[in-house]
Chain A
Amino acid sequence: MGFVLDGKACSAQQGDTVLTAILTQATRLRESEFGGAPRAGFCLMGACQDCWVQTEDGQRLRACSTLIDDGMRLRTKVGT
């Protein structure tokens, strides 16, 4: 499956979560709104809410519990 991460074309396996798809390509999912440090999720079971990522059009997805979809356009940095 093809998806776009921070403007770059990437590929993922069908059945990968958004978290798995991104972390196969990068070390982070997002930056903390408070200290700006990188974050990459924590509980993987929808409890900690630390893995919310944004699509290019500003929609928010919980990366650990959303499966990657063909053509998704995701960003790890707000404003890129």
Chain B
Amino acid sequence: MTSKRFVIVGAGPAGMRAAEQLVAAGERPVVIDEAPLHGGQIYRQPPPQFNRDRSDLYGFEAKKASAVLDRFEALRPQIDYRPHTLVWQIESNALQLLHAGRSETLPFDALILATGATDRVLPFPGWTLPGVYTLGAAQIALKFQACLIGPRVVFAGTGPLLYLVAWQYASHGGQVAAVLDNAPFGTKLMATPKMLARPSVAAKGAYFLARLRMAGVSIHNGVSLIRAEGKARVESLTWRASGVTHTTPCDAIGSGHGLRSETQLADLAGCAFDYNALEQSWLPTRDATGRSSVRGVYLAGDGAAVLGADAAELSGARAALAALEDFVKPTSMGLASQLERESGAHLRFREGMETAFALPKRWAAEAPDDLIVCRCEEITAGELRACVKTTGTREMNRLKALTRIGMGRCQGRMCAPAASRLLADAAGCELKDVGRLRGQAPVKPLPIHLMRDVVDSGFVPLEERDD
């Protein structure tokens, strides 16, 4: 083992594989994860008291999930594993951690960010009602808590999770009231050639769709979501397809439009960002090896670009090899180039997914003025449009300063995809041109006593003390 400190943030597929590679080279990495157990969101493990079977938890992916979870478990004596720990700031080659109410500074030589992704949400009126969750949340309820988000659920939005989660609910006693896909059916046919870059994954998608149809679930394409309604909780969803308006009674809604990378820590680490036309968002710049623009900072998994769990394993391992090469010794180039080659198919497949599950093009133009865009502080589409009109702003951070969009507790995680599209639409420019919200520390809420301590120590710059 060298005297260099390797730190991995995130214990999902990318982080777990990065740890494996570093241990294989004789290092003892620190692995920091916000969750109580390793696995990330995709292989999220239930609390030990639940004692559930992995084939039930992970379906087709059970064998793969078991392999990577068990290998990480076996590594535990050889790594410094810190679950339940939040990284809330990165500065001067050190992480600021929060664990059990206490802050700690952890310096690093090499930092591998494997921060994962959350649902990309394009909201609809009523999305703040109890019973409305993301698709990811609907799946976590099932995997982590053995619960459904409601007995009678509508799944709405687009993306592969839409069909996967709907099938998981249908096969676990849930009543799937409808699957409402914003993307028209024709896009799926157009995408088929690229999706065949990973035939087994494409086949699983077709399987879920076929099983849902066999179970009599009503599936609609080219849908616009109009409004969720209810008093104490959601009671119905009104939607339109082919010019006809429908209202579907339900107790819960799972909604999402693909995933968005969790990039705030890369931002705090000083990484440069590029606009990624495929993901329609600004992502930290990285090369094929996982190196970012900052020496010693590496990017892997869905937090760098949403390519899914299998690609995350490859990029995690590859980033670890790059870190070893930079800080210890040149690595086996054979393995490195093999990992890079295998990643190619994932990118082609992802291009197909983005075609198959295209985001609704007219979402921003059609969003009503009274739509709540920011769940944290209830800022509406109308307020954002009025701000653009009166001030002429065309930039996200300016819009944030003027309206507080992205300034609430979630720091723009939930509202940024929607707010940036509304800004681009109102300002009459391209999505790329409105820029991106800059990451600010702390990236998640901290206890106030801790904030007082760090402010007293002068750690948080004055202009960042707003929240």
Contacts and interface: CB of A to CB of B under 8 A. Distances in A.
B131 interface: yes
Interface stretch (B292-300, B409-417, B433-441): B409-417
A38 interface: yes
B118 A32 contact: no
A50 B118 CA distance: 14
A28 B35 CA distance: 24
A38 B132 CA distance: 12
Nearest to B50: A15
Contact of A15 (B48, B119, B140): B48
A16 B376 contact: no
A39 interface: yes
Contact of A32 (B36, B119, B378): B378
B188 to A, nearest CB: 27
Nearest to B141: A44
Given A15-B50, A16-B145, A20-B147, A42 B137 contact: yes
Interface in B110-143: 118-119, 128-134, 136-137, 140-141
A41 B376 CA distance: 11
Contacts of B233: 27-28, 38, 40
Given A28-B232, A49-B376, A52-B409, A40 B140 contact: no
A37 B131 CA distance: 13
Contact of B137 (A29, A41, A49, A65): A41
Nearest to B119: A43
A40 B136 contact: no
Contacts of A65: 34-35
A30 to B, nearest CB: 10
Contact of B34 (A40, A46, A67): A46
Given A28-B232, A42-B133, A43-B414, A17 B128 contact: no
Interface string A1-17: 00000000000011111
Contacts of A27: 130-131, 232-233
A45 B409 contact: no
Interface in B395-431: 408-410, 413-414
Contact of B378 (A35, A42, A52): A35
A49 B164 CA distance: 25
B444 interface: yes
A49 B409 contact: yes
Contact of A47 (B118, B130, B377): B118
B265 to A, nearest CB: 13
Contacts of B144: 17, 44
Interface string B374-390: 01111000000000000
Contact of A38 (B47, B134, B232, B445): B232
A45 B133 contact: no
A49 B410 contact: yes
B46 interface: yes
Contact of A37 (B47, B50, B128, B134): B128
Contacts of B134: 42-44, 48
- For B130, B144, B444, the residue with the greatest tally of chain A CB atoms inside 10 Å of its CB is B130
A20 B133 CA distance: 14
Contacts of B232: 27-28, 38
The 7 closest A-B pairs by CB, nearest first: A40-B130, A15-B47, A49-B409, A44-B137, A15-B49, A34-B378, A44-B140
25 contacts: A14-B47, A15-B47, A15-B48, A15-B49, A17-B144, A27-B233, A32-B378, A37-B128, A37-B129, A40-B131, A40-B233, A42-B137, A42-B414, A43-B118, A43-B134, A43-B136, A43-B137, A43-B413, A44-B140, A44-B144, A45-B136, A46-B34, A47-B413, A48-B375, A49-B445
Interface of B: 34-36, 41, 46-50, 118-119, 128-134, 136-137, 140-141, 144-145, 147, 232-233, 262, 375-378, 408-410, 413-414, 444-445
Given A42-B128, A48-B375, 19 more contacts: A15-B48, A20-B145, A28-B232, A28-B233, A32-B128, A38-B129, A42-B132, A43-B118, A43-B134, A43-B137, A43-B414, A44-B136, A44-B140, A44-B144, A47-B118, A48-B414, A49-B410, A49-B445, A50-B409
